[in-house]
C-alpha cells in the first residue's frame, strides 16, 4: 500500500482564491454603481481636462507647480492599503502556520497591493507631468522621476505593512504613520525641486534610514487580531461605498429614512390630501428618495462650475445646452415609475392624472435646474442679456422633452 501524500498548504493560491471570491461578490454592485456615476465621471474628466489646459496656458511665471504636484502625489504615495482577506476563524487554524503564511500568503498580499498602487502612481504621474514640464528650473526626466516615485511607494508600502502587522504599541503605530506621511511629502518635494541626482541620492539615503529604523522598532510576531480588524474595516468601507448607489445585502441595519422639507414638498408635490395632488406628491417623494435626485444634483453643480470657469460665447452655450439636455433625459426616467400601477383602477382618480402629475414634477425640477445653470452665464458670456436668451431656450427644452404624452403614458 502506497503511503498517502502529505497535505500541502499553498498560501499564495489561497489568497488568490479569496481575492477572486471577493471580486465576484462585489461585481454586480460595481456594475450598478458605474451605471450611476459613469456619465458624471466622463463629464468631470472633460471639465478637469479643459480647466487643466487653461491653467497651463494662463499660469503666471513662478506659479507653484511643483508644490501643487507634491500635494497631488502625497495621497497616492502615503495611503497604502493592503488587503489580506483574513477572517476570524483563521485565527484558530493559521497561527501555528505563521511562518508559512508570512512567506506565502502575506507576501502575496503585499505584492498585489504594490502592483495595483504602482499603476495608480503611474496614472497620477502621467496626469501631472504636463504641469511639471511647465515648471521652471532643473528637473528629472519622466522615466527617472517615475522610477524614484515607484521606489518610494514600495518602501512606504512595506513600512505600512510593518506598522499594521508587527507594531504592538498604538502610540508607536501613530508615530510611524505620521512619519510615513511626512516622508512621502518631503521626499517627493526633494525629488521635484532639487537637482535630479541630488534629489535622487537624498531620497535613497532617507528611505534606507527609514526602513532601518522601523525594523528596529518592530516585534517578530504577527498582530493577528489587528489584521483581522483592519481587513473587516477595509471590506466594510468598500461595501458602504457601493451601498450609496445600490442596496448591498451584507450591510446590516435598517436604511435611514429620508425626510423632505415640508415647504419643498408643498411647492413641488402639492398637498397630499388633495385629489389633484395625489401623484404629484408621490413623484416628488420618489424623486427625493431615489438616485435620480443625486444624479440631478451632481449634474447641476458640475454644470454650474464648468460654466462659471469658462469665457466666450460658444463654450458656455454648448455646456449649458448639453447639461440642460442631460438633466431632461435623466429626469424623464422619473415618469416611468408606477406606470403599471393599479391605483388608477382602485381609487377614483382621473385616468390621465398620473402622466400629467409626473410631467408637472419633472418640469418643475428641470426648470429650477436650468435656472441654476443660467446664473454663471451672466458673467461667462460676452453680454449678460445672452443669459436670458439661453434661459428661455432651456425652459423651451423643458417643455419639449418633458411634455405629456397621454396616449402613451396611461
C-alpha cell at 185: 511629502
What are the CA-CA distances from residue 23 to residues 17, 31, 363 (Å)?
A: 10, 12, 41
**Does the structure show a pLDDT above 50 at 248?**
yes
**Does the structure show a pLDDT above 80 at 249?**
no
**Does the structure show a pLDDT above 60 at 402?**
no
Compute the average pLDDT of residues 324-333.
Answer: 84
Compute the average pLDDT of residues 329-351.
Answer: 71
Q: What pLDDT digit, counting tens, does each position of 214-245 carry?
A: 777 666 677 888 888 889 999 988 888 887 77
Among residues of the chain, what percentage have pLDDT more than 90? 17
| 8 A C-beta contact, residue 314 and residue 384 | no
Q: Is the pLDDT higher at 352 or at 187?
A: 187
**Does the structure show a pLDDT above 70 at 152?**
yes
Task: Give dist(CA 200, CA 194) in Å, integer.
Answer: 9
**Does the structure show a pLDDT above 80 at 94?**
no
**Does the structure show a pLDDT above 50 at 307?**
yes
Residue 256, pLDDT score: 47
- pTM strictly above 0.75: no
For residue 10, the Cα-to-chain-centroid distance in whole angstroms is 35
Residue 46, pLDDT score: 78
Helices (H), 135-219: 142-166, 170-193, 196-216
Residue 282, pLDDT score: 76
Residues in the chain: 410
- In sequence order, what are the residues at sequence separation of 6 or more whose Cβ sits closer than 8 angstroms to the Cβ of residue 68? 131
Compute the average pLDDT of residues 50-63.
Answer: 83
Work out the pLDDT band at 202, boundaries 50, 70, 90.
very high
Residue 218, pLDDT score: 62
Work out the pLDDT band at 274, boundaries 50, 70, 90.
low
Q: What pLDDT digit, counting tens, does each position of 6-47 carry?
A: 445 677 788 889 999 999 988 888 888 777 777 777 777 877
Task: Give dist(CA 133, CA 309) in Å, integer.
Answer: 24
Compute the average pLDDT of residues 165-181.
Answer: 80
Highest averaged pLDDT of the listed ranges 20-24, 131-135, 353-357, 362-366: 20-24
Compute the average pLDDT of residues 292-306.
Answer: 85
**Does the structure show a pLDDT above 60 at 382?**
yes
Residue 259, pLDDT score: 56
Q: Report the mean per-residue pLDDT for the chain.
A: 80
Work out the pLDDT band at 262, boundaries 50, 70, 90.
low
Residue 187, pLDDT score: 94
* Candidate from 104-113, 121-130, 242-251, 259-268 with smallest mean pLDDT: 259-268
Work out the pLDDT band at 117, boundaries 50, 70, 90.
very high
DSSP string, 167-178: ---HHHHHHHHH
Q: Is the pLDDT higher at 266 or at 42?
A: 42
Residue 250, pLDDT score: 67
Compute the average pLDDT of residues 93-113.
Answer: 79
HSE value, Cβ hemisphere, 13 Å, CA-based, for 398? 19
Q: Is the pLDDT higher at 188 or at 282?
A: 188
Amino acid at each position: 500500500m502506497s503511503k498517502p501524500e502529505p497535505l500541502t498548504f499553498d498560501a499564495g493560491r489561497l489568497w488568490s482564491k479569496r481575492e477572486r471570491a471577493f471580486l465576484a461578490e462585489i461585481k454586480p454592485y460595481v456594475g450598478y454603481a458605474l451605471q450611476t456615476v459613469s456619465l458624471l465621471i466622463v463629464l468631470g474628466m472633460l471639465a478637469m481636462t479643459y480647466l487643466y489646459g487653461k491653467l497651463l496656458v494662463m499660469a503666471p511665471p513662478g506659479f507653484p507647480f511643483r508644490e501643487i504636484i507634491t500635494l497631488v502625489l502625497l495621497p497616492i504615495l502615503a495611503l497604502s492599503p493592503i488587503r489580506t482577506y483574513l477572517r476570524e476563524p483563521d485565527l484558530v487554524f493559521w497561527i501555528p502556520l505563521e511562518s508559512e503564511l508570512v512567506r506565502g500568503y502575506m507576501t502575496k498580499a503585499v505584492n498585489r497591493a504594490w502592483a495595483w498602487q504602482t499603476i495608480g502612481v503611474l496614472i497620477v504621474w502621467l496626469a501631472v507631468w504636463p504641469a511639471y514640464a511647465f515648471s521652471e528650473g532643473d528637473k528629472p526626466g519622466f522615466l527617472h522621476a517615475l522610477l524614484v516615485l515607484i521606489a518610494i511607494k514600495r518602501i512606504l508600502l512595506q513600512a505600512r505593512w510593518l506598522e499594521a502587522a508587527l507594531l504592538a504599541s498604538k502610540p508607536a503605530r501613530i508615530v510611524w504613520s505620521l512619519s510615513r506621511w511626512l516622508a512621502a511629502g518631503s521626499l517627493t518635494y526633494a525629488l521635484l525641486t532639487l537637482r535630479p541626482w541630488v534629489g535622487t541620492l537624498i531620497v535613497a539615503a532617507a528611505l534606507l534610514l527609514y526602513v532601518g529604523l522601523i525594523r528596529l522598532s518592530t516585534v517578530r510576531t504577527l498582530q493577528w487580531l489587528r489584521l483581522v480588524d483592519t481587513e473587516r474595516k477595509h471590506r466594510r468601507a468598500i461595501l458602504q461605498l457601493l451601498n450609496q448607489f445600490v442596496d448591498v445585502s451584507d450591510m446590516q441595519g435598517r436604511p435611514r429614512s429620508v425626510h423632505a422639507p415640508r415647504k419643498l414638498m408643498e411647492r413641488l408635490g402639492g398637498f397630499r390630501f388633495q385629489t389633484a395632488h395625489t401623484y404629484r406628491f408621490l413623484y416628488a417623494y420618489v424623486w427625493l428618495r431615489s438616485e435620480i435626485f443625486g444624479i440631478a444634483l451632481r449634474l447641476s453643480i458640475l454644470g454650474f462650475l464648468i460654466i462659471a470657469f469658462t469665457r466666450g460665447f460658444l463654450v458656455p452655450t454648448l455646456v449649458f445646452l448639453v447639461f440642460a439636455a442631460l438633466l431632461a433625459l435623466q429626469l424623464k426616467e422619473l415618469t416611468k415609475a408606477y406606470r403599471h400601477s393599479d391605483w388608477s383602477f382602485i381609487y377614483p382618480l382621473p385616468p390621465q392624472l398620473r402622466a400629467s402629475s409626473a410631467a408637472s414634477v419633472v418640469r418643475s425640477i428641470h426648470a429650477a435646474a436650468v435656472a441654476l445653470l443660467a446664473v454663471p452665464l451672466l458673467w461667462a458670456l460676452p453680454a449678460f442679456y445672452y443669459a436670458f436668451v439661453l434661459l428661455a431656450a432651456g425652459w423651451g427644452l423643458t417643455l419639449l422633452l418633458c411634455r405629456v404624452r397621454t396616449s402613451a403614458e396611461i
